[in-house]
Structure 1
Amino acid sequence: MNENKIKILIVEDHMVARMGIAIIVENTPNFELVGQAQDGQEGVSLALHLKPDVILMDIGLPKIDGIEATRKIKEAKLNSSILMFTSRDSSDDIFAALRAGADGYIMKGSDEKTLKNAIEAVNQKAGWLDPQIARVVLSSINEQKENTQDKTKSLNNKYGLTKKELEVLSLIVDGLSNQEIAQKLVVSLSTTKAHVHSILQKLYLTDRTKAAITALKEGLV
């Protein structure tokens, strides 16, 4: 195996879909296909054995579904990043996958460039959320927004986020980079990075995408 390549495991029960993804991976110079699984149980076994950098995980899998497989892999404390690659776009599935530890969520039908970008992003621990999925999340949050004011106050106290950190978190949700946030708030880039680091620590998270999802899901912004 080439250590400079991103080692990828595909967990997908539909053979045609699995083969299509495999072709994309094999034809990408910095990717290396290390394994394929056709059900969740096999996916967990191969993940533990192969220790890939990135796992492309469907949700609707036989034996155990992709969400349970993700949970089992994350419980094993592997360094593998898991990118959910599925046609399911319900808020229940999205939140369940993220709670299980998924590092990104992309829809089947995404173009090849988007898939490659998503793989590279989760490999760098940057997280990835398909724009279509972001809209579903926002819609779900908005439906509950009228009943979240009291909850938001208690959550703010629970996490201990400062007013400035909540402001930065809101801009993260809007998709702004650290540089753009710094310009928006008229502060230095180092100050912005410090705020982002503090937010992630207080939310017990490791990347901006999950921070944005948590903020939306729990009504923090």
Structure 2
Amino acid sequence: MATKPNYATTEDDADFAPTKKQKIDDEGDSDSSSDDSFISVGDMGTEEEWRAYRYYSKEPEWDVDSFDGREFIINPRIRKLYETQELYDEYYRKRLQAFESKGFIPDHSNGIYEVYLEDPVRIEHLTELVNVCVKKFNETKMDLYICRISFFFSILRGKTLELVNILRATERGYGNVKFYITFMAREYQNGPLVEYQAKAIKFGNNRPPFPILCRPSPKPET
């Protein structure tokens, strides 16, 4: 009988609110009694468990990213799938990079896939989702942002964040889909372009999309 998988996941989903120092071990249970010759990363247990893992039904709290506070740990058995340490190190590096991006880099092991932007209809769809997040951001954050940079107050008075163009996106889920979108924006009229991130859920039952967060993209470490 197959062991039940560990449902810890690198996903900011209200259905799976993280505990402090929750481990990321999505490749399965580390029970040494299991057959190490084959590791099924897609075995999600019962149909009910699978649906709970892949479908989002709750509206998450605004501006809360539950990637925060999680710990990245890969099942040690995965090492046995790689012939050399160099190959495993490359796998580990890519998984860690995806984890640290908090969903904005594809991570197939966690069901996060690239959204291809060749289709104008898809661009229109992503634009709608970003604008939902930008609207929420402007309603809740822009006043505080203006106060913090008071020397720009006269420039920013009455101005709000505005989407300029979509750069890239990833998605996760079935039916109700979570999108991670990177875009360029202006923080005030004629201001410089700034890279931002947005997360939103698109529900499959005609409910309006729900914003999760909107923030400047983190600066790359030097």
Same fold (TM over 0.5): no
Between Structure 1 and Structure 2, the one with more strand by share is: 2
TM-score (normalised: structure 2) = 0.31
- Which of the pair has more CA radius of gyration? 2
User: What is the TM-score of this pair, normalised by structure 1?
Assistant: 0.31
**Which has the larger helix fraction?**
1
